[in-house]
Structure 1
Amino acid sequence: MADSPTEGVKSVARVFDLLELIADAGGDVTLSELSAMAELPLPTIHRLLRTLVSLGYARQLANRRYALGPRLVRLGEVANRQFGQLAKPQLKDLVSRLGETANLATIDGDQVIYVSQAPSPHAMRMFTEVGRRSGLHNTGVGKAILSQFDDEVVRDIVARTGLPKSTEYSIDSVDALLEDLHLSRERGYAIDDNEQEIGVRCYAMTVPGAPVPTAVSVSGPVARVDEAFAERAIPVLREIVQDISAATA
């Protein structure tokens, strides 16, 4: 007998719940782990997973764990581009008011991916290609995103990725990173001070209520992006992230 509309909607909701649970678990899980997290019977989860695997939205690994499938990559890339376009007016407004490059980035696995940018009008400016992936621990947007997570989640990410140094100023210990994130939470924004690229300073803030952890940054040469700049920039950043939150709700 075919599912009723109500049952069909429940099945769709359960499928998306499973995909999000796999993502929350770091990308791969066992059937029993999913059953415990989803609070669904094993046969139901197994049936849904078989469908996802057959369509390419999930895959079964050699060790019998289940992981997200390759067909999700295309959906994510298109969604990121659309999300970036939605925020473009706010990024341009940020540049017009502060004169430095503005970026929007979201989390992508254990990295950040830049999904939109409005460049500074200055000849000497910070430039990051849209689509570029960078570390969470040594970028302003990455640290702003990490500041939303519990310390144990941060430790788990570092255990998987390590703390590769981009410059001599990059954070290279988990304790130093957690201390930096604590400061970010207290003041409401993160700072990348020569950590991703020598000569570049960045102030970043999370977008409240974003569908995935997201941050906006304003970046430029340290000669221009100094403490006086920060006093002007932080109130503007707060306004911009609220505007992006409202525009993407």
Structure 2
Amino acid sequence: MTSEPTLISSVRRALRLLETVGAQERPVSAKQLARQTGLRLPTTYHLLRTLVHEGYLRKLDDGYVLGDSVDLLGHPPRNQLLLNRIRPILTALRDELGAAAYVSIFDDGEIRILDIVDSASAPRVDLWVGCTEAGHATALGKCVLRELPDHQLRDYLARHPLVDLTPRTATKPQELRRRLAAGPIMLDREEYSLGTACAAVPIYDGARPGSLSVSVPVGKLDRLERGGQRLLAASEQINRAMSLTI
């Protein structure tokens, strides 16, 4: 008769936590991890502290992501590696400008938000229409569209109607193209949501274009205009961080 192997329960629990964090595209909280793994919350916190200490997880403001030590085990999802490197840049930008910060990327023909860093004093925009449908009306979306080769832009516009979200939204392709010609900082003056202003600059993940953007109430638009150089400097930091993430 073959005897059952001796298993160490704490190791198994830690591995379940790593697997669960690794399956997420965004940071996941301790409470969410406890629910998803069926562990008691105190046990979850104890294991998470150990995994963070050993470098297998990293604790961000809104949850946990895989840490650098996971590189020794294989290849974690690229978006998590990017998040691990760019989150401190976004946090610093939010704190300096007093504005919510966003990173988006053009992925498989769609504009997708990779991360958002906000706070009680710098809340995010209510994304009542997703960026996949409203790229023409947001600073972050227009910034990505401006970077696309013409054939990709034409393909995107053929698949995405220019929906009228506010009286300021561009609903005709020629008007959108005129707005895309602006630069180097792309602005959204209440095109997506009345009362909200956004500014965005391009970033690149290899060949994939993306954007770094910030949002404020429209009455504070001058804050974004004054912070333009800071936004450009942060985009250069993100480009360097992305180039290091293989």
Q: Scaled by the length of structure 2, what TM-score is found? A: 0.61
Q: Which residue of 1 aligns with 2:214?
A: 218
**2: CA distance, partners of 1:207 / 1:125:** 20
Q: Which residue of 1 aligns with 2:146?
A: 147
Q: How far did 1:141 drift?
A: 0.9
**1: CA distance, partners of 2:168 / 2:82:** 32
**1: CA distance, partners of 2:218 / 2:235:** 23
Number of residues paired by the alignment?
Answer: 167
Change in Cα spacing, 1:103 to 1:189, as seen in structure 2 (3 Å) is same
Change in Cα spacing, 1:109 to 1:195, as seen in structure 2 (3 Å) is farther
**8 Å Cα contact 2:102-2:113 kept in structure 1:** yes
1:207 to 203, 208, 226: 203
Q: How far did 1:78 drift?
A: 3.8
Change in Cα spacing, 1:132 to 1:180, as seen in structure 2 (3 Å) is closer
Q: Is residue 246 from structure 1 mapped to residue 246 from structure 2 by the alignment?
A: no
Change in Cα spacing, 1:115 to 1:209, as seen in structure 2 (3 Å) is closer
Q: Secondary structure at the match of 1:137?
A: helix
Change in Cα spacing, 1:167 to 1:84, as seen in structure 2 (3 Å) is farther
Change in Cα spacing, 1:211 to 1:159, as seen in structure 2 (3 Å) is closer
Q: How far did 1:138 drift?
A: 1.1
The 5-angstrom pairing of residues 1-249 of structure 1 reads 78-122=77-121, 126-128=125-127, 133-183=132-182, 187-208=183-204, 210-224=206-220, 226=221, 228-249=222-243
**8 Å Cα contact 2:107-2:208 kept in structure 1:** no
Change in Cα spacing, 1:167 to 1:110, as seen in structure 2 (3 Å) is farther
Change in Cα spacing, 1:162 to 1:99, as seen in structure 2 (3 Å) is same
Q: Secondary structure at the match of 2:227?
A: helix
Q: Scaled by the length of structure 1, what TM-score is found? A: 0.60
Q: How far did 1:193 drift?
A: 1.4
**2: CA distance, partners of 1:114 / 1:213:** 12
Change in Cα spacing, 1:158 to 1:125, as seen in structure 2 (3 Å) is closer
The letter for the 2-side match of 1:162 is P
**1: CA distance, partners of 2:157 / 2:92:** 35
Q: How far did 1:214 drift?
A: 1.1
Change in Cα spacing, 1:83 to 1:204, as seen in structure 2 (3 Å) is same
Q: Which segments of 5 or more consecutive residues in structure 1 lack a partner in the other structure? A: 1-76
Q: Secondary structure at the match of 1:216?
A: strand
Q: Which segments of 5 or more consecutive residues in structure 2 lack a partner in the other structure? A: 1-75
**1: CA distance, partners of 2:188 / 2:215:** 9
Q: How big is each residue's C-alpha offset from its partner over 1:114-167, in whole Å with a ceiling of 9 and x where there is no partner?
A: 1111104417653559x9644321111111011112344322321122212222
Q: How far did 1:209 drift?
A: 5.5
User: What's the C-alpha RMSD, in Å, of the aligned pairs?
Assistant: 2.5
Which has the higher mean CA deviation after the structures are superposed, 174-183 or 209-218? 209-218
Q: Which residue of 1 aligns with 2:53?
A: none
Q: How far did 1:102 drift?
A: 0.2
Q: How big is each residue's C-alpha offset from its partner over 1:5-52, in whole Å with a ceiling of 9 and x where there is no partner?
A: xxxxxxxxxxxxxxxxxxxxxxxxxxxxxxxxxxxxxxxxxxxxxxxx
Q: Which residue of 1 aligns with 2:57?
A: none
Identity percentage of aligned residues: 25
Q: How far did 1:198 drift?
A: 1.3
